[in-house]
Amino acid sequence: MAAASNLWTGRLRYTPLINIIIFIFAIAVFGAAASYANAAIKTPMDEQALIYMRPRPSNGKIIVYALFMPFFTVLHSLADLALHFYLTLHPLYALVVAAVYSIGWLVQWSIWMNCEVSAIGFDNAGTGGTCFQVNLKHAPGSTVPQKSSEAVVNARVGLGAVVLALYVAYAVVAALAVVRKRRGGKV
């Protein structure tokens, strides 16, 4: 697969492959996140086990919590592919955006790990009540809301880690392209 952009030559011309893989995994994370958000919205509050006396989060907050990074990752990967094939994706732009998305995914993945996979999010001292899942009904011995499944949560967190790793790889490739461009003109 040869890239159309003349800014990316040599082995770096395969950079769109990283974007295509990011897009595929972002769609998968988006699907798992949408399933989780739907389940979290439908799960009732556990009135007898209220750890933090807080009202139920709005549906909008649950959707933003679950879908923010997956949604914007899908949009970004499509935009980068379009820019690349229309000859305008500059390596410096790719580096900056990949670094920002790497940080965004690191933060998102850390929150998901803390609130859903790890029991720390369910400890009174752990998060200070930042995880809304604490007050939802759960299956006995589980940190997953009653209407969701462990498989959906684990898939979303695992795929999120893959997208994070792909963005780090994309940032490294873009950094190589920037260095190469500064040394000799074309990448």
Task: Please tell me the predicted confidence (pLDDT) of residue 124.
Answer: 45
DSSP assigned state of 138: B
Q: Which two tokens stand for residue 39?
A: 């389940």
Task: Please tell me the predicted confidence (pLDDT) of residue 179.
Answer: 85
Task: Please tell me the predicted confidence (pLDDT) of residue 125.
Answer: 46
Task: Please tell me the predicted confidence (pLDDT) of residue 118.
Answer: 64
pTM (2 d.p.): 0.81
Which residues of the chain are under the pLDDT cut of 70? 1-11, 46-55, 118-130, 132-148, 185-187
Distance CA(83)–CA(3), nearest Å, equals: 11
